[in-house]
Structure 1
Amino acid sequence: MAIGAFGGYSAATSLGPAPAGQTSFRWSGSFELVKTAETVSSGAQKLQPQISVENQVWGNGSAAGSYFVVDYAIRKPALTTCSVTSSAQTVALPTVSLNALGTGSSSTDDATATAGSTAFNISLKCQKGARLYMLMTDANFPGARSNLLFPKNGQWGALGIRIQREDGTNVTFSPDSATAGADGQWFVGDTPDGVLNIPLRASYYHYRCGTCSAASVPVGTFSVQATYTFSYQ
């Protein structure tokens, strides 16, 4: 039933006509809390309605004696989270030749090539009840937005590391953020009560570079770093 101006009161509602010839009246109902803003503060509150016959008599003889109290409390829910079973992980890609990268003597300088594809997992132990999202960041260039990871020294020309999700989608590396809808964030899945594995695949990626030469990819050890951030929504 609606609450509004009624019988000279600014916040009242009608329970209907009082039964003729009766000195008691039974009424039952329920209260529903309605969210009207993006965020709701936690805490305890109470409602204290009064019952009366309009302009005649209070329900229990007096205004002070005609209250009934509805207490309620809003509490923050327990946060559902996951813990990483191995906080630091090294993914070792195989040694590959310059020809495999499209930079050898038998390849053109602007060839695009992928090599050394290597599967790996990020393993989590989770609590059930959250929608898990993930974002990855280039640790060497944390402000960058790219689908490749690059070494810190920048001496490798047109070569980077590409990471792909299980469905083959390239990971877009973006600035670290746990905010819902952040650039580069993707939906991993609903958290189970137990282990959750996130399968990924890393590979060398030599991209087209019209001004680069084959010598721009030297022989040596190639190393990049990435971090990941989870968002529970």
Structure 2
Amino acid sequence: MARFARHLCLLFAGTLLLVCLGLAPRDVSAATCTLSPSGATLTVAAVTVSTGTANGTKLGTPGNLGVTFSCSGLSSGQTATLQVGGLASRDASDPPAGGGISFATNVPGIAFVLTASPVQASDNSCLRCGPGQTPGWEAASVTSGQTSTSVTFTGQFMKTGNVTPGTVNSIQLAQFWWYIFGVSNSVGPIGTLTLAATPVNIQACSVNSDSTNLNVTLPTVSTQALRSATAVAGRTGFNINLTCQAGANVYITMAASSGAGTATGTLLSNGTAANVQVQLLDKNYNPVSFNTSTLIGAAPSGTLSIPYYAQYYATGAATAGSIKATATFTMTYQ
């Protein structure tokens, strides 16, 4: 019995030795990875949301930012992987059409969509996603023999609902970690990605397509109707049509593109008829004052039609021929 007991003791000791060898940590102290810039800021230009813009529409010009992931001290065959995690709150529109991550902002109706290259941004939760299996993705990797690699982030605002104008506050979108698979846990955070504060404006009205390049045809009249200075004839009505959000204060400014004439509201003609100009009138038949912003009033929701009139205006005895004049209008809103 004593001999059998010694055999059990030796077997047990051997088992302990094997377990200890399996738990021995690998030496990774030589490997170091960094991110440049460590505090990366993504800047996007201010955006203006036009009336009638559909939900899901990307707004303005995208902003781009590149970061560099660098590593040193990797052993032969080792690969260091850059993880993106610590994500900010996502919007209800996440994931957005076309890929990436849709982040929530403080401005109603506005989300921020982040995409990345060479690996698309994602907020999946998995073993090899964000650190500790949290939402995120593996953005890049550096293998022994390499020194660095680059990641490009692209950001753009997206309309998700009724927009209230304001400023999107600065948001820390994500943080960065790195690890060596099978060797080390996630190390970091070694950097951050932040969205800079950005204004969001509303274009309260937009000019309808039938009014962007408006041609007004005046009737043919006899020179006898314009035989003396200040005589007028051929009054013709037209409308400038807008689509507006309710309550917007609309202003219009008229400019004499073909040149201002002798009387208020008159335009010089480059046609063949002599001593004839074109005069613009407002809805009350008053001559329009050029280069002066005029309040039209508070817009209703939907189409707003602004009535105007054009008529011939004689500066002397008119001669037969053609009349052609041009005016430009500019809309502003508050």
Query: Please, what TM-score do these two structures have when normalized by structure 2?
Result: 0.38
Percent of residue pairs bearing the same amino acid type:
31
Among 279, 301, 317, the residue aligned to 1:162: 279
Among 282, 295, 307, the residue aligned to 1:199: 307
- Point out the structure with max Rg over C-alpha: 2
Distance 1:173 1:78 in 2: 26
Q: 1:137 is matched by which residue type in structure 2?
A: A
Among 113, 123, 126, the residue aligned to 2:241: 123
Partner of residue 227, structure 1: 328
Distance 2:207 2:299 in 1: 11
CA shift at 1:134, angstroms?
A: 0.3
Q: 1:228 is matched by which residue type in structure 2?
A: F
Select the structure that is richer in strand.
2
CA shift digits 1:60-96 (9 cap, x unpaired)? xxxxxxxxxxxxx996553423232311111111111
Distance 2:208 2:235 in 1: 24
CA shift at 1:112, angstroms?
A: 2.3
Counterparts of residues 62-77 of structure 1 (less than 5 Å): 76-77=200-201
Alignment gaps of 5+ in structure 2: 1-165, 171-196
Question: Cα–Cα, structure 1 residues 171 and 219, in superposed 2: closer, same or farther, change >3 Å?
Answer: same
Distance 1:111 1:83 in 2: 36
Q: 2:329 is matched by which residue type in structure 1?
A: Y
Partner of residue 266, structure 2: 148
Partner of residue 92, structure 1: 217
Distance 1:166 1:78 in 2: 28
CA contact (8 A) 2:280 2:309 kept: yes
Q: 1:165 is matched by which residue type in structure 2?
A: D
SS in 2 for 1:221: coil
Q: 2:224 is matched by which residue type in structure 1?
A: N
CA contact (8 A) 1:132 1:230 kept: yes
CA shift at 1:141, angstroms?
A: 2.7
Query: Please, what TM-score do these two structures have when normalized by structure 1?
Result: 0.52
Question: Cα–Cα, structure 1 residues 126 and 43, in superposed 2: closer, same or farther, change >3 Å?
Answer: closer
CA shift at 1:202, angstroms?
A: 0.7
CA contact (8 A) 1:82 1:127 kept: no
Distance 1:145 1:226 in 2: 15
Question: Cα–Cα, structure 1 residues 94 and 75, in superposed 2: closer, same or farther, change >3 Å?
Answer: closer
Q: 1:230 is matched by which residue type in structure 2?
A: M
Would you say 1:83 and 2:184 are equivalent positions?
Answer: no
Select the structure that is richer in helix.
2
Among 256, 261, 278, the residue aligned to 1:138: 256
Aligned residues: 141
CA shift digits 1:31-65 (9 cap, x unpaired)? xxxxxxxxxx95759xxxxxxxxxxxxxxxxxxxx
Q: 2:275 is matched by which residue type in structure 1?
A: A
Q: 1:222 is matched by which residue type in structure 2?
A: I
Distance 2:295 2:322 in 1: 33
Counterparts of residues 15-30 of structure 1 (less than 5 Å): none
Alignment gaps of 5+ in structure 1: 1-40, 46-72, 104-109, 175-183
Distance 1:196 1:91 in 2: 19
SS in 2 for 1:100: helix
Q: 1:122 is matched by which residue type in structure 2?
A: I
Distance 2:238 2:202 in 1: 31
- After superposition, the CA RMSD in angstroms is 2.9
CA shift at 1:162, angstroms?
A: 0.8
Distance 1:116 1:131 in 2: 32
CA contact (8 A) 2:168 2:200 kept: no
Distance 2:201 2:328 in 1: 28
Distance 2:309 2:278 in 1: 10
Question: Cα–Cα, structure 1 residues 227 and 205, in superposed 2: closer, same or farther, change >3 Å?
Answer: same
Q: 2:330 is matched by which residue type in structure 1?
A: T
CA contact (8 A) 2:268 2:325 kept: yes
SS in 2 for 1:99: helix
SS in 1 for 2:241: strand
